[in-house]
């Protein structure tokens, strides 16, 4: 896997230049509110939060960061002609992501992602709120994403969030080449406030790469099992008072170092042993439900069904235009609709 990190450089005139492997080199950002937000402490914290949580921290996946994705989502809606307010919303959509990203969702399971549940409370404690006020915006307008249709749509439709992490990860994992990513980006258009593809060929290329990323990484059984183990350790650490929930918004490295130190500090060998299993060397075997598995979970399967422009203002899902893809997607989703029971070996 070859991975080229996104770079942001400050210019003498106070503007920024972004070098990005998805949307192009030397993208100039001069809007003062965007410059101030990108330079804010809260947004820069995301440079130290990895997209893939524990597997990213352990080098099992490329070190794609939440900052790269957040800036990428902003660049995409900007490219597609979004107003400045939606560009701000895209930049801030992951502002409340905790250390280790979605690993925390495995610690505190609920109806929504942990960072979404706590976004409002977190956002008002950051330097983002006064920056927005300085430029005439209310931070409360950026808590919910449903008012920004280019940024957020229900799966399996395309949206800036889904497109950016999909393309960014597929490129980092080697499931798409830079030329293929460029073809897909150039094929994206907006119809009726939704991101769609110009043609079924690029739509299917993206959809198949996205499904491969899900199969090999996002819903990979070993990766998900490590998320579950790490989540168990985090939940235990909070319940026993080794850390507080405020620690969840530290940088990945600092947060993990605190967890590792907690076991010996509190003379908790069981906690230390559990944490030691969160390792690339840990292997898992599938067992039956009645064989006393160490872990049981249903991996979250992700697929997309991109809209394809047909005519000037009409859109049809790829699955309506491509029966072969419809069957591939159906079979894949069916294969994932099972509970995995695993034992540590």
Other C-beta atoms lying within 10 Å of the C-beta of residue 257: 12
pLDDT in tens, 20-48: 999 999 999 999 999 999 999 999 999 99
The pTM is what? 0.96
Beta-sheet pairing, 340-344 with 295-297: antiparallel
Does 285 score more than 60 pLDDT? Answer: yes
Does 241 score more than 60 pLDDT? Answer: yes
Mean local confidence (pLDDT), 290-316: 94
Q: How far is the C-alpha of 24 from the C-alpha of 73, rounded, in Å?
A: 13
Is 15 inside any structural domain? no
Is 316 inside any structural domain? yes
Closest Cα to residue 344, out of 281, 271, 264, 298? 281
Q: Locate 250 and state its tokens.
A: 């530290």
Q: Is residue 192 very low, low, confident or very high in pLDDT (cuts 50, 70, 90)?
A: very high
Is 49 inside any structural domain? no
Q: Locate 138 and state its tokens.
A: 């209310």
Does 242 score more than 60 pLDDT? Answer: yes
Mean local confidence (pLDDT), 8-23: 97
Q: What is the pLDDT of residue 2?
A: 67
Q: Locate 203 and state its tokens.
A: 């739509």
Q: What is the pLDDT of residue 312?
A: 81
Strand order across the 295-297 sheet = 284-286, 340-344, 295-297
Is 257 inside any structural domain? no
Closest Cα to residue 344, out of 291, 302, 286, 301? 286
Q: Which residues make Cβ contacts (< 8 Å) with residue 296, sequence separation at least 6?
A: 289, 339, 340, 341, 342
Burial of 138 from C-beta contacts in 10 A (0-12 / 13-18 / 19+): exposed
Q: Is residue 111 very low, low, confident or very high in pLDDT (cuts 50, 70, 90)?
A: low
Q: How far is the C-alpha of 329 from the C-alpha of 97, rounded, in Å?
A: 29
Range of the domain at 294: 174-216+283-344
Is 331 inside any structural domain? yes
307, containing H or E segment: strand 307-310
Q: Locate 177 and state its tokens.
A: 């080449």
Ramachandran quadrant class, 52 (left: phi over 0; alpha: psi -120 to 50; beta: rest): alpha
Candidate from 2-6, 173-177, 230-234, 319-323 with smallest mean pLDDT: 2-6
Q: What is the DSSP letter of 97?
A: P
Closest Cα to residue 341, out of 213, 230, 228, 233? 228
Is 311 inside any structural domain? yes
- Cβ pair 284, 345 in contact under 8 A: yes
Q: Is residue 157 very low, low, confident or very high in pLDDT (cuts 50, 70, 90)?
A: very high
The number of folded domains in the chain is 1
Q: Is 13 helix (H, G, I), strand (E, B) or coil?
A: coil
Is 155 inside any structural domain? no
Phi, psi angle pair for 28, to nearest 5°? -90, 125
Is 26 inside any structural domain? no
In the chain, how many H helices and how many E strands?
17, 10
């Amino acid at each position: 896997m070859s991975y080229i990190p996104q770079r942001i450089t400050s210019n003498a005139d106070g503007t920024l230049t972004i070098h990005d492997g998805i949307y192009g080199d030397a993208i100039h950002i001069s809007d003062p509110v965007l410059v101030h937000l990108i330079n804010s402490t809260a947004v820069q914290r995301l440079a130290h939060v990895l997209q893939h949580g524990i597997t990213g921290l352990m080098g099992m996946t490329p070190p794609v960061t939440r900052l790269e994705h957040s800036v990428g989502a902003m660049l995409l809606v900007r490219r597609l002609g979004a107003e400045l307010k939606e560009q701000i919303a895209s930049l801030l959509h992951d502002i409340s992501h905790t250390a280790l990203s979605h690993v925390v969702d495995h610690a505190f399971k609920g109806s929504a992602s942990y960072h979404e549940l706590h976004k409002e409370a977190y956002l008002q404690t950051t330097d983002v709120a006064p920056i927005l006020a300085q430029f005439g915006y209310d931070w409360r307008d950026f808590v919910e994403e449903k008012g920004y249709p280019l940024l957020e749509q229900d799966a399996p439709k395309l949206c800036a969030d889904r497109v950016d992490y999909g393309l960014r990860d597929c490129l980092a994992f080697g499931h798409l080449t830079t030329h293929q990513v460029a073809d897909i980006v150039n094929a994206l258009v907006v119809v009726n406030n939704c991101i769609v593809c110009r043609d079924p060929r690029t739509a299917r290329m993206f959809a198949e790469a996205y499904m491969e990323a899900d199969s090999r990484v996002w819903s990979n059984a070993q990766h998900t099992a490590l998320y579950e183990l790490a989540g168990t350790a985090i939940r235990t650490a909070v319940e026993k008072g080794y850390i507080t929930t405020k620690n969840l918004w530290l940088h990945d490295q600092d947060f993990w170092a605190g967890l590792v130190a907690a076991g010996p500090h509190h003379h908790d060998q069981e906690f230390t042993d559990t944490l030691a299993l969160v390792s690339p060397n840990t292997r898992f075997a599938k067992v039956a439900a009645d064989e006393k598995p160490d872990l049981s979970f249903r991996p979250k399967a992700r697929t997309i069904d991109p809209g394809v422009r047909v005519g000037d203002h009409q859109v049809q899902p790829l699955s309506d235009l491509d029966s072969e893809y419809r069957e591939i997607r159906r079979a894949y989703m069916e294969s994932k609709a099972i509970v995995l029971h695993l034992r540590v070996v």
